[in-house]
Structure 1
Amino acid sequence: MTVPGPTTSAANAARRQAGRATLERVLMALRQLQKEKSPITVAAVARRADASRTFIYSNPEARDAVAAAMATSRHNRSQATTAAASDREASWRERALNAEDGLKAANAEILAQRTRIGELLGQIRDLEAEWTQESILRITTENTSLKQRVRKLTEDSRTLDERLKAARSNNRFQDRRIADLEAQLTETV
């Protein structure tokens, strides 16, 4: 066996150091992608870490870390999708229950309104049954005669009101005339 020279050892140490630094960048990129809740793929991690995809596939630690992060990301997305579907389902269920309650209330209100309409129609029929054709004719005739009497009384009231105004006017004139005559009598005496 040959012992590597100092340059080879230094090159190997530099390669190991660069590999550790790249691995650290890959792990940092994974943490950032998880924090941002971005999709985790080998290409996305390689771009974010400024590393090659070959490094991620060939380095066992990097490959295992990316695979674990991808599995966790899929699991989280699956849970989020399930939770969102569950929320949508609950929302639809709640709306359906509210609609069902509204429909029951509307049906009860319609039934109450129909019952009330039936009662009112029955009262109308009862009222119509009490009035015969003769009684309707008699009431119409009485109503007409009462309207004529009201017109006559209104006309008489207007005539009497005009006479009253004229009588008051005459009375004021007579009062002034008497006052003038009394003044003339007192001047002559």
Structure 2
Amino acid sequence: MTAPAPRTSAAHAARRQAGRATLERVLAALRQLQKEKTPVTVAAVARRADASRTFIYSNPEARDAVAAAMTTARHARGQATTAAANGREASWRERALNAEDGLKAATAEILAQRTRIGELLGQIRDLEAEWTQESILRITTENTSLKQRVRKLTEDNRTLEERLKAARSNNRFQDRRIADLEAQLIKSV
């Protein structure tokens, strides 16, 4: 009966060694999940550590480490949620204050515009009161005659530009003709 004892103790040692190795993988997986800020669950740790969930539940060190990591993650998520809510609240307050400032500025601008419109309408009424029907008719007639005169002058200007262009063309032709005649004179001499 002495033979089975060494084999049994060797099996126990191998099993303890395998358990320690699995525990180390579980702890490494926990560190990795926390580093990546991935949600910590027993299933996620078991997949990452290549261990069974039964091992995690049955090994007190592994179970305590996973539970502590889950508590820490829950606490961190709670703080992050609180910080995000506070940020949203502050952002909302800031937007509300900006909206109030914008509303005040818009109201002041509208009041200024209405005042200016009132002043301009008053000026128009004042100007309309100064003009009589005769003066309006006279100005309209003068405006029409001036427009006709502008049209006539524009037409005359166009005619003169065409004549100038034709005169320049004739001048160039005459210059070439004179140059040709001078060349013939020099050849005949």
TM above 0.5, yes or no, is yes
CA apart distance, 1:87: 2.3
2:51 alignment partner, SS class: coil
Q: TM-score, normalised by structure 1?
A: 0.65
Matched with 1:38 is 38
In the alignment, structure 1 residue 80 sits paired with structure 2 residue 80: yes
Structure 1: state its 5+ residue gaps: 152-189
Match of 2:134 in 1: 137
- Cα deviation, 1:26-60, whole Å, max 9, x if unaligned, reads 00000011111111110111111111111111111
**Structure 2: unaligned runs, 5 residues or longer:** 149-189
Aligned structure 1 segments of 4 or more residues deviating by more than 4 angstroms: 138-145
Q: Distance in 2 between matches of 1:143 and 1:15?
A: 114
Distance of 1:138 and 1:10 partners within structure 2: 126
Deviation string 1:1-24 (CA, Å, 9 cap, x unpaired) is xxx822222222222111111111
Q: What is the deviation of 1:139?
A: 7.1
Moved more, 93-102 or 71-80: 93-102
Q: What residue in structure 1 maps to residue 24 of structure 2?
A: 24
CA–CA distance in structure 2, aligned partners of residues 24 and 142 of structure 1: 103
How big is the alpha-carbon RMSD for the aligned residues of Structure 1 and Structure 2?
3.0
Query: In 2 relative to 1, CA 139–25 (structure 1 residues): closer, same or farther, beyond 3 Å?
Result: closer
Tell me: CA distance 1:41–1:138, structure 2 relative to 1, closer, same or farther (3 Å). closer
Is 2:94 aligned against 1:94?
yes
Map 1:103-142 to 2 at 5 A.
103-130=103-130, 136-137=133-134, 140=137
**Cα–Cα, structure 1 residues 112 and 23, in superposed 2: closer, same or farther, change >3 Å?**
same
> Which one has a bigger Cα radius of gyration?
1
SS at match of 1:48: helix
What amino acid does structure 2 have at the position aligned with 1:18? A
Deviations 1:120-151 (A, max 9, x none): 222233344455xxx54367459858x98xx9
CA distance in 1, matches of 2:130, 2:109: 32
**CA distance in structure 2 between the partners assigned to 1:45 and 1:114 by the alignment:** 70
Aligned to 1:64: 64
What is the TM-score normalised by the length of structure 2? 0.65
Count of aligned pairs between the two proteins? 146
